[in-house]
Amino acid sequence: MKASVGGYARATDLRHALDLLAASDGMGRVLAGGQSLIAALNMRLSSGDLLIDINSIDALKGVSLDGNRLRIGALTRHAEIANDPLVAQHAPLLRKATDLIAHAAIRNRGTIGGALAHADPAAEFPACILALDATIHVEGPDGPRDIPASDFFVDVFVTTINDGEILTAISLPMAEAEERQVIHELARRSGDYALAGVCLVRRAAGHRIVCISVGPRPELATAAMARLDAGDTDGAVAALRDALDPPSDTQATAAYRRHLVGVLLHRAIADLNGETA
Ligand SMILES: Cc1cc2nc3c(=O)[nH]c(=O)nc-3n(C[C@H](O)[C@H](O)[C@H](O)COP(=O)(O)OP(=O)(O)OC[C@H]3O[C@@H](n4cnc5c(N)ncnc54)[C@H](O)[C@@H]3O)c2cc1C
């Protein structure tokens, strides 16, 4: 089945995109890479939408340094993140995550802004940016707004972006000299969404752990982080399993996912320490 859309407009700049959204009477849908949106439209999950194509807006593209933070434009594609030297140096977790996202064709079109706005709890970037303590920058009719990653994800496919707002960029602290960032996940086949995954960051202030595909939204695993800060690996794994209430679905049972995150955390810790699990 093919999409039933109400119209298409190519925005020339951010102001134009915001004006189109404001005039769309609630039917405007921002079109970035289209890798999730077009699939949803093809399944007729909604119809009559006005597609507002932001792909020509250069101000939303690219990676740069902004003071002591790394800034990644919303329209930066997964494949660009995979190959960007600034990302590799200052946010290696995002670079590693791109190896685990879908297939080359999807990575060539999909954007980080689209992945975050889509807020699929099985996706890698939402968990990564929370683990990295990023800030999400949005712009709307009332001007720009900065949202900490910890306040951004609300539920499956739900964020705190308001109607009429567009995600413009994310920014994140540059990795410290001794910082380590790893991601481990298990998928049935290479390129599939993960059955479960773990992002682990170790910086001077302590560890940060965020899981993938184990709940409606990415969350910091604070109890496990405290155990790991205390040097208690087994305690961290037990705390992580205790804290989670993962879903059962056709891919995996809740019990299997709970077991799996413990295995993945063990692997991530070993990776962090330069060992093999
Ligand atoms: C077969 C397949 C396998 C996939 N596997 C994975 C995987 O393993 N891991 C993974 O993480 N992802 C996976 N994806 C999703 C892929 O990464 C998508 O690219 C991503 O989720 C959406 O990015 P997009 O740029 O294509 O957004 P779009 O599809 O264009 O948009 C997605 C949603 O976000 C909104 N939106 C987009 N950009 C903005 C913005 N700047 N401001 C406000 N709202 C915005 C849109 O209106 C829409 O609601 C897969 C997709 C497919 C088709």
pLDDT one-digit tens code per residue, 88-120: 999 999 999 999 999 999 999 999 999 999 999
Residue 277 within a domain: no
In this structure, the answer to whether residues 90 and 193 fall within a common structural domain is: no
In this structure, the answer to whether residues 168 and 66 fall within a common structural domain is: yes
pLDDT higher than 90, residue 275: no
Is residue 240 within 8 A of residue 262, CB to CB? The reply is: yes
Ligand 1, atom 36, lies closest to the CA of 114
Is residue 3 within 8 A of residue 41, CB to CB? The reply is: yes
CATH number at residue 238: 3.30.390.50
Q: Which two tokens stand for residue 41?
A: 């439209």
User: According to the model, what pLDDT value does residue 1 have?
Assistant: 66
In this structure, the answer to whether residues 138 and 156 fall within a common structural domain is: yes
pLDDT higher than 90, residue 138: yes
For ligand 1, whether the C-beta of 81 sits within 6 Å is: no
pLDDT higher than 70, residue 277: no
User: According to the model, what pLDDT value does residue 41 have?
Assistant: 86
Count of Cβ atoms closer than 10 Å to residue 131 Cβ:
28
pLDDT-derived band of residue 12, with 50, 70 and 90 as boundaries?
Answer: very high
For ligand 1, whether the C-beta of 73 sits within 6 Å is: no
pLDDT one-digit tens code per residue, 179-236: 999 999 999 999 899 999 999 999 999 999 999 999 999 999 999 999 999 999 999 9
User: According to the model, what pLDDT value does residue 46 have?
Assistant: 73
Which of ligand 1's atoms lies nearest the C-alpha of 32? 30
For ligand 1, whether the C-beta of 136 sits within 6 Å is: no
Q: The domain containing residue 250 runs over which residues? A: 180-272
In this structure, the answer to whether residues 238 and 136 fall within a common structural domain is: no
Torsion angle of the four alpha carbons 201, 205, 207, 211, in this order, in degrees rounded to the nearest 10: -70
CA distance 248 to 260: 13
Count of Cβ atoms closer than 10 Å to residue 11 Cβ:
22
pLDDT one-digit tens code per residue, 32-61: 999 999 888 888 877 778 999 999 999 999
